[in-house]
Structure 1
Amino acid sequence: MQKLPDGFRLRLATVDDAEALQKLITASVEAIFPAFYDAEQTASGLTYIGVLDLALVQDGTYFVVQAPDSSIAACGGWSRRDKLFNGAQATGTEARLLDPATEPARVRAMFVHGDWTRRGLGTRILEACEDAARAEGFTELALMATMPGLQLYRTWGFTNEDPQDLVMPDGVVVPGVAMTRRIS
């Protein structure tokens, strides 16, 4: 299990965290996306990818890593619902519960504050997601990686990379990679 830096703690997000989560998500996209995407893609990412999906919080499947000063340094979660990523075009099936016996749980909405990247926070959240999904009978995880997260997901054992052009609702194309990982 990934050890968090001293004074940091992992916990489930609550609805009371919504404002702080949105601030973190926005700050993360603003700081990290420009190293991987152009200005138009980053702006579209802020509008469509960098938006808190409150359903994850309400479902009890969204985690935060809280810093010693009580600020949120990272967030991310998993879903038992049929939605692969924020920014996806609405299909009407987003609320459908996945079948753990035949479908992978979705890893969703992973964001780390720019000051805290590459310190194990994302890895600890992924471990918590896997543990929770396993407890509900899932045997596989799936995600849609944006370029900033690709290294983390590869390192953590996600494979079956399938590059995808993610067309945002404003028509901007943001490159992504669909990936899967068996739950150990």
Structure 2
Amino acid sequence: MEVVLRLAVVADGSAVAALARAAVETQFPAYYDAVQTASAVEHITTLDTALIDDGTYYVLEAAGEVVACGGWSRRNKLFNASTAGADTRLLDPATEPARIRAMFVRADWTRRGLGRAILTACTEAARAEGFTRLALMATLPGVPLYKAFGFTEVEDAQLPMPDGTLLPGVAMERPIEENA
């Protein structure tokens, strides 16, 4: 089945939210307890529409259905539930990394290269805007994908959800090669 990568549009919002919710509900229980999973469903699956407005969020469609999504940001926010230190200021490509954000793959579409395809598109777009590094805050289910894509662990983290729940995560970074 052909899979098509394209920039997300506002009309994709409900499909993206449903995909993100389903991905967290099915994939997080292998890494997190029931309270952490429920909190993640509530707080990290809400689409940050600024990503769509900025033209930095992608969807992958198969037979008209969104099966994966994710993007990057040139703004100072590392992950959806974060508010501490986050703002809408534009990052300086010369000194700050672009942010990989809100990556989700439908459970029945994992391990098919969809996450890699989105990360490749994000890397190319960030490079075109002068960024030389990428950063992200990984939830545990995403760590293997990000490592396989060349991200290295910077530090373990506890991601505070707005309800006080803490999710173990990993801050990761990767250089953007000039001739990749």
Q: TM-score, normalised by structure 2?
A: 0.96
Cα pair 2:39 2:161 within 8 Å, conserved: yes
- For residues 23-172 of structure 1, the aligned pairs below 5 Å read 23-67=18-62, 69-91=63-85, 93-172=86-165
The residue type equivalent to 1:139 in the other structure is: T
Distance 1:180 1:140 in 2: 7
User: Where does residue 173 of structure 1 map in the other structure?
Assistant: 166
The residue type equivalent to 2:12 in the other structure is: D
Distance 1:31 1:98 in 2: 34
User: Where does residue 3 of structure 2 map in the other structure?
Assistant: 8
Deviation by residue 1:3-30 (Cα, 9 ceiling, x = unmatched): xxx4101000000111111111111111
Unaligned runs of 5+ in 2: none
The residue type equivalent to 1:36 in the other structure is: Y
User: Where does residue 3 of structure 1 map in the other structure?
Assistant: none
Q: TM-score, normalised by structure 1?
A: 0.94
Distance 1:169 1:89 in 2: 9
1:21 and 2:7 correspond: no
Deviation by residue 1:72-97 (Cα, 9 ceiling, x = unmatched): 00000000000000111354x42010
1:55 counterpart SS class: helix
2:115 counterpart SS class: helix
Sequence identity percentage? 60
Deviation at 1:51, TM superposition (A): 1.1
Distance 1:45 1:108 in 2: 15
